[in-house]
Amino acid sequence: MQSAEEFLVPVMLDAQKFRKSCQEIKWVSCPECRINFPDVKLSSGICTTCSLEKQRAKIPRMFSAANCMDPGIVPIELSRLSNLEQILVARIHPVMSVYRVKGQQHKYSGNVINFEQDVNLIATILPIKLADSSTILIVQRNGKHASKEFRVRREFSTPGYISMAFPALFPYGNEDLRQARPRQINHSEYFQYLMKFHDGRFAKDSRFRYFAWNS
């Protein structure tokens, strides 16, 4: 029979190999679009995407401030906010089910639903009156199971809803997916760029990664 010590030795060795592999990952940055990721390939000192746009003389560059794709530097006041404080000041509240699973990992299930909230009203009157609440309340008056089907209302027509949902990530309220810009960008390109942004704030956020997959 294998002892506990004999069982733990290979596990610890695997953990050491994993940590070593993580430390050996080489992060590559592009000075033009300011992405930072291991799979970035450079050509003449800039990433292949920026190099190709430079050759084709495309103006403005897709991932540039001129094309409304520079989320800016987060002010120190916002950088100090806790997760709960960020939720309280957000004008859009994304509801999602995020779970912490074995190994300190996270997962989510279901859909992300975005609710608009009046931050000023909530800050001065708690709890809000039922007449002023945008929440749908269902009261079961008897023992029978009651249910009602609701039609999903897509939020893609609401400009600025992403920046309003994450004020600490978009401190200036710009660079939203649906805002007008000289060169349009699709959903996949938009979120991939933000997840690779050089300061890592989008990738490190506990909710944004799941929001990006389901918005």
Instruction: Provide the 8-state DSSP code for 119.
Output: H
Confidence of residue 97 (pLDDT cuts 50, 70, 90): confident
Read off the pLDDT of residues 77-87 as tens digits, 9 standing for 90 and up.
999 999 888 88
Domain ranges of the chain: 74-139+154-215
One-letter identity of residue 93? H
141 pLDDT above the threshold of 90: no
Rounded distance between C-alpha atoms, residue 19 and residue 176, angstroms: 36
Torsion of CA 38, 43, 47, 49, to 10 degrees: -130
| Distance in angstroms between the alpha carbons of the first and the last residue of the chain | 52
Confidence of residue 119 (pLDDT cuts 50, 70, 90): low
Pick the more confident residue, 99 or 48: 48
Q: Smallest Cα–Cα separation from 121: which of 135, 113, 132?
A: 132
Q: What is the pLDDT of residue 146?
A: 59
Give CA 14 to chain center in angstroms.
31
Q: What is the mean pLDDT of the chain?
A: 81
Q: What is the CA angle 53-31-68, rounded to 5?
A: 65
Q: What is the pLDDT of residue 144?
A: 63
- The token pair at 122 is 């909530």
132 pLDDT above the threshold of 80: no
Q: What is the pLDDT of residue 75?
A: 93
Q: What is the pLDDT of residue 32?
A: 92
Instruction: Provide the 8-state DSSP code for 186.
Output: -
One-letter identity of residue 182? P
Rounded distance between C-alpha atoms, residue 126 and residue 117, angstroms: 13
1 pLDDT above the threshold of 60: no
The residue count of the chain comes to 215
Give percent of the chain above pLDDT 90: 32
* Cα radius of gyration rounded to whole Å, the chain: 22
- 3-state class of 37 per DSSP? strand
Q: Does the reported pTM lie above 0.75?
A: no
29 pLDDT above the threshold of 70: yes
Q: What is the pLDDT of residue 51?
A: 92
Give percent of the chain above pLDDT 70: 70
Give CA 183 to chain center in angstroms.
22
Strands (E), 38-175: 42-43, 46-47, 92-101, 105-116
Q: What is the pLDDT of residue 168?
A: 93
Burial-class residue 164 by CB neighbours within 10 Å (0-12, 13-18, 19+): buried
69 pLDDT above the threshold of 70: yes
Rounded distance between C-alpha atoms, residue 133 and residue 80, angstroms: 30
